[in-house]
């Protein structure tokens, strides 16, 4: 085994752990809404506005980000993304004003545009090894590492939060620093990258690429919006019956079970995909519809305990669908994209969900000034039902392509 093969082998081994531990600020995913609303004293409208503004700035920065990525390469882009994630975590933790938290959110969002090149690195390394079929397995393993990590975080987040409101975020920052160190072992085959740079051509949209990016943006962006607002919706519902301390614990339990659901999803993803193939994207859309329906219906149940359980089941369904949506569409994108356009395609792919989330967050922040959050959940239900037409279209295109 030559030096390059050894480096690629090591890189592929650490890839799931690096990606899994950096796919988000781990404890942030568990306590972000309650941290912003009870520690930073933001309203639900401000939380949505924060997401909307940071998302808009991220969208507007795409051309600059792409130029930097093409100049410094995929490997340095991933390392830069990890550094920005660390800086964003520090600012969000210690920032005291809306503006400072906004700056942290901007670092946080743009970091993932750079970090998204990790998939391109994996694909090119597997191409060098003539083992491209392993992409979805390694990617799913990364999702599993993330799901298990966030599951553990969710189980203990509420208790740690009650010990010290800042402790979960401090742990986030430490993990980010560890990821920066771990990224030193990530490797990209230079020979392939250099050859593709010489033959690079301008990016051109094809019908199937556009639909893949659109479906991912709509489903994943809406799912993230459902996750954020669903937590606030459940939190407000519980606060009608319980104290803040108990609400934090109960919410962390629901989130913990949702992470278990996510782990199960990652474990069975390949098996379900192998059985139903491209129909899987339609199933994921239907699961999102049912998830919102459960969350809404739970709030109308007069017995609070039963209502919380029903809402929790809906929230678990949201998390069950999250990784399969990303892994299914990411694999479809790279399967239908030329190698020289992978950087641009992956940037647009990662950006699409932020565009959708930005639009929805901005819209929601203004709607919440006038109406209750339950109308937001109803709007999200209508949107996910509307997405069915587009997911069916993608299913047909993928079947034709295959």
Residue 202 sits at φ, ψ, to 5 deg, of -60, 145
The pLDDT of residue 192 is 46
d(CA 245, CA 372): 24
- Residue 152 domain-assigned? yes
Residues 6+ apart with CB under 8 A from 66: 343, 344, 347
Any domain includes 198: yes
Predicted confidence at residue 401, as pLDDT, reads: 66
State which residues form the domain around 334. 8-401
Domain total for the chain? 1
- Token digits for 235? 């939190």
In this structure, are residues 24 and 30 in contact, taking their beta carbons and an 8 Å threshold?
no
Whole-number Å distance between alpha carbons of 234 and 210: 35
Residue 131 counted as domain residue: yes
Q: What is the dihedral of CA 367, 372, 375, 376, to 10 degrees?
A: 60
Q: Is residue 2 part of a domain?
A: no
Rounded to a whole number, what is the distance in angstroms from the first to the last CA of the chain? Answer: 35
Angle, CA 368 vertex, CA 378 and CA 221 arms, to 5°: 60
Number of H helices, E strands in the chain: 16, 0
- In angstroms, the CA 333 to CA 394 distance is 11
pLDDT by residue for the chain (402 residues), tens digit each? 578 888 898 999 999 999 999 988 877 766 777 788 888 888 877 887 887 788 889 888 988 998 999 899 999 999 999 999 999 999 999 988 899 999 999 999 899 989 989 988 998 898 888 887 788 888 888 988 988 887 788 778 778 888 888 898 899 899 999 999 999 999 988 754 444 444 556 777 889 999 999 999 999 999 989 988 888 888 888 888 777 777 777 887 888 788 889 889 988 888 888 888 889 999 999 999 999 999 999 988 888 889 889 999 999 999 999 989 998 998 899 888 877 788 888 889 988 988 898 888 778 878 887 888 888 899 999 999 999 999 999 999 988 766
| pLDDT value at residue 402 | 62
**Is residue 63 assigned to a domain?**
yes
Inter-CA distances, 376 with 9, 228, 304, 312, 362, Å = 47, 11, 21, 18, 12
Residue 273 falls within a domain, yes or no? yes
User: Is residue 316 one of the residues assigned to a domain?
Assistant: yes
State the CATH number of the domain containing residue 240.
Answer: 1.20.1250.20
Contact status, residue 216 vs residue 356, Cβ threshold 8 Å: no
Take residue 214 and report the two structure tokens written for it. Answer: 């659109």
The answer to the question of residue 1 being in a domain is: no
What's the pLDDT score for residue 360? 87
Give the global pTM.
0.77
């Amino acid at each position: 085994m030559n030096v390059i093969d050894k480096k690629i082998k090591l890189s592929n081994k650490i890839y799931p752990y690096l990606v899994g531990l950096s796919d988000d600020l781990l404890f942030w995913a568990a306590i972000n809404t309650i941290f912003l609303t009870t520690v930073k004293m933001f309203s639900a409208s401000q939380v949505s506005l924060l997401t909307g503004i940071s998302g808009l700035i991220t969208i507007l920065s795409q051309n600059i980000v792409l130029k930097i990525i093409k100049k410094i390469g995929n490997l340095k882009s991933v390392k830069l993304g990890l550094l920005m994630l660390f800086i964003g975590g520090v600012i969000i933790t210690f920032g005291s004003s809306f503006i400072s938290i906004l700056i942290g959110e901007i670092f946080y969002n743009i970091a993932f545009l750079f970090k998204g090149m990790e998939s391109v690195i994996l694909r090119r390394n597997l191409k060098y090894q003539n083992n491209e079929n392993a992409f979805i397995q390694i990617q799913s393993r990364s999702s599993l590492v993330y799901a298990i990590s966030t599951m553990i975080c969710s189980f203990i987040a509420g208790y740690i939060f009650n010990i010290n409101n800042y402790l979960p975020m401090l742990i986030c920052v430490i993990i980010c620093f560890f990821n920066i160190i771990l990224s030193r072992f990530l490797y990209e085959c230079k020979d392939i990258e250099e050859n593709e740079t010489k033959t690079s051509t301008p990016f051109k949209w094809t019908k199937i690429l556009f639909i893949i990016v659109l479906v991912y943006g709509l489903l994943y962006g809406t799912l993230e919006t459902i996750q954020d607002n669903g937590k606030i919706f459940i939190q407000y519902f519980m606060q009608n019956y319980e104290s803040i301390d108990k609400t934090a614990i109960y919410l962390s339990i629901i989130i913990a079970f949702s992470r278990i659901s996510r782990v199960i999803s990652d474990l069975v993803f390949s098996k379900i995909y192998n059985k139903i193939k491209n129909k899987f994207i339609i199933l994921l859309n239907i699961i999102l519809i049912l998830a919102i329906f459960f969350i809404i219906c739970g709030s109308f149940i007069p017995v609070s305990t039963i209502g919380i359980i029903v809402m929790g089941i809906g929230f678990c369904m949201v998390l069950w669908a999250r990784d399969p949506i990303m892994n299914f569409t990411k694999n479809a994108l790279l399967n239908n994209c030329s190698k020289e356009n992978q950087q641009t395609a992956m940037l647009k792919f990662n950006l699409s969900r932020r565009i959708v989330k930005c639009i929805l967050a901005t819209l929601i922040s203004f709607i919440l000034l006038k109406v209750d959050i339950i109308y937001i959940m109803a709007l999200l239900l209508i949107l996910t039902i509307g997405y069915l037409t587009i997911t069916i279209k993608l299913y047909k295109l993928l079947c034709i392509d295959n």
